Structure 1
Amino acid sequence: MLSKEKIDRINALSRKSKSEGLTEKELLEQKRLREEYLRAFRGSMKNTLKSVTVVDPEGNDVTPQKLKNEKNKRLH
């Protein structure tokens, strides 16, 4: 995940954007930081989903095949 400093900077730029606006340089920084945050978030979410097993009310494993394939790739 992103460092606390980067997340704090994203939040500071967001507040400044709402209150007084951002310079061109700050807009580029904000865009770069947001993209970095989203990459980290998506990676974390994919790793979380790879450890999920879906079970129906009868106790049967109904995990989608695509997810099972991803789990198997990770194990080998």
Structure 2
Amino acid sequence: MGKHEIIGCERCGARIECKANSFTKCQCSEVQLNLNEMEYIATCHDACLCANCLLALQHEYQQSLIKT
């Protein structure tokens, strides 16, 4: 089996191992996002994000709902 690509998180720059070809084993699959959260994140980011940033953006989105 070949190695996965090491990339930088688009938001924080943390080095992550991209496993797009094995999505269920990728660190980003640990974060459960609903459709609205995914759309919110997609408005600002086009590339891979680390699990910590996904969690932070999920929280940011949920907080924006409370403020409105």
Greater share of residues in strand: 2
Considering fraction of residues, name the structure with more helix.
Answer: 1
TM-score by length of 2: 0.35
TM-score by length of 1: 0.32
Find the structure with the greater CA-based Rg.
1
Q: Which has the higher contact order (CA 8 A, sep 6+)?
A: 2
